Chains A and B, each alone.
Chain A
């Protein structure tokens, strides 16, 4: 399945913070076919540093999508049955308008003049895209991590437009620990002299800061167990310690590699804006009353967490499940056993596929019966 990104353009979007953007562009990919009554559309929301290329082989670079193991013919999100859409988030740097985009008013990149955006804003732009595709109701919105936050936001903001929601490895509001790790990433970027208050687009990007931010991120995506299994204390291409500050351990080499690789594909200012959007995320708008947020939501839910995920621990998913249960909502929940930490939703997908497939199938059946 060779896929190509597409782009939709809108004149204006009003943002939660009061500002607006005009125009605004959103890059997306689609897989499978929209059926005649437009009832088989699924929106996939990507995680923090993901992009619109969720599945298939990219036309330009020949790379598989970030959730290619979950989306495709016969897979959990079965493109023989469903029409799957994935778009790059607002504030991102892979085709959708973000701080690196050209501000039409000035002819220069927005940089820090880009307005601070929220998860709700990301979802609002997705809604504009879905409307423009002529889809009034999505069969499902799903995603892991920040994609899960967007899924929850969809259910709360547009309950009449979503039949079911599958939030995975996520939370209904960012916790102190999650904010803390994001802040370390932001500080690493802003401490890099090349950052230049965000005005680096015509110069050298803050590569060192961004790669350190990514290294921290990668640690939080794994687990003690998965790191022990993957690296242990193995040395990198040497028998003895170097007694210097070069790379000794495999884990150091891995983190440096991941950090460097990230710099080539991600914009440091997008890192700042998107992590801020995550940190602001709170479905209850600060009241803490999740029951109120979900009161008018009659979407079906399949909530999934992973036992070794310490970045988005299972209790956060269980809080969502408890409130939905209290409201007598239609909620299924499973805490899947995995050693892969937060990354599990991307890599440890056998059991996740099994339940997503069955849940979607039963939702589609309910939709037909209704």
Chain B
């Protein structure tokens, strides 16, 4: 039974085509703004924003192969660690700093969020929701670190080192007085309006 449920909640990694948070981020960002994307991967989002929103795009990525592909597609990306890179930027150097599906992989998420809001007038933070019902069921039935469509990795090779739910993030923002300007909850590409912590797979927060 446990196995079959796990099978229903497929274990394929989320690919770019399945990144609905990108379309939300694309909607949020105003044309001609200055954007920094932390952990920008191959620069797909930045390339899209440059083309459609004429933004001034910058990116940081630690994987050399991804940096190469990002530069090859014309995005100004530098290879480096997002934590040490941010310290160089002056206050409010960007209109938006994006942290897309990366928060759960960072060693010191709180400091990073503080830096985001220092360097950017606003921050856009998206993350997979560990409170999603699929994760809860997988954990409940298997009694193992959940492996789901959202969290496809084995516990020992997962890049995710923090597991947070939407409620966790909301609580942190309250405690730290991070002003939440807007919030978007997604299940696939569909917007979730009720019980987001249970039903949403991905959350996108606009802070600042």
Contacts and interface: CB of A to CB of B under 8 A. Distances in A.
Interface of A: 300, 302-303, 318, 321-322, 325-326, 328, 330-337, 351, 354-355, 357-359, 361-362, 365
Interface string B35-65: 0000000000000000000001010000010
Nearest to B78: A333
Interface in B137-178: none
Contacts of A334: 64, 67-68, 71, 78-79
B14 interface: no
A326 B64 contact: no
Interface in B73-120: 73-80, 85, 88-90, 93
A322 B88 contact: yes
Which 3 A-B pairs give the minimum distances between C-beta atoms?
A: A362-B74, A358-B72, A333-B78
Contact of A355 (B56, B58, B71, B85): B71
Contacts of B58: 330
A325 B74 contact: no
Given A326-B90, A354-B68, A333 B80 contact: yes
Contact of A326 (B70, B71, B80, B88): B88
B168 to A, nearest CB: 31
Given A333-B78, A333-B79, A335-B64, A325 B72 contact: no
A332 B93 contact: no
Given A333-B79, A335-B64, A358 B74 contact: yes
A92 B77 CA distance: 36
Contact of B72 (A303, A321, A354): A354
A355 B74 contact: no
Q: Which of A300, A302, A328 has the most CB atoms of chain B within a 10 A radius of its CB? A: A328
A40 to B, nearest CB: 17
29 contacts: A318-B80, A321-B78, A325-B78, A325-B85, A325-B88, A325-B89, A326-B89, A328-B34, A328-B89, A328-B93, A330-B58, A330-B76, A331-B76, A332-B70, A332-B71, A332-B76, A333-B77, A333-B78, A334-B68, A334-B71, A334-B79, A336-B64, A336-B68, A355-B68, A358-B72, A358-B73, A359-B71, A359-B74, A362-B74
Given A322-B88, A331-B78, A333-B79, 5 more contacts: A325-B89, A326-B89, A328-B34, A355-B68, A362-B73
Contacts of B73: 358, 362
Nearest to B84: A322
Contacts of A354: 68, 72
B67 A328 contact: no
Contacts of A328: 34, 89-90, 93
A230 B136 CA distance: 56
Interface in B17-37: 34
Nearest to A323: B88
A45 B36 CA distance: 32
B74 A361 contact: yes
Nearest to B76: A332
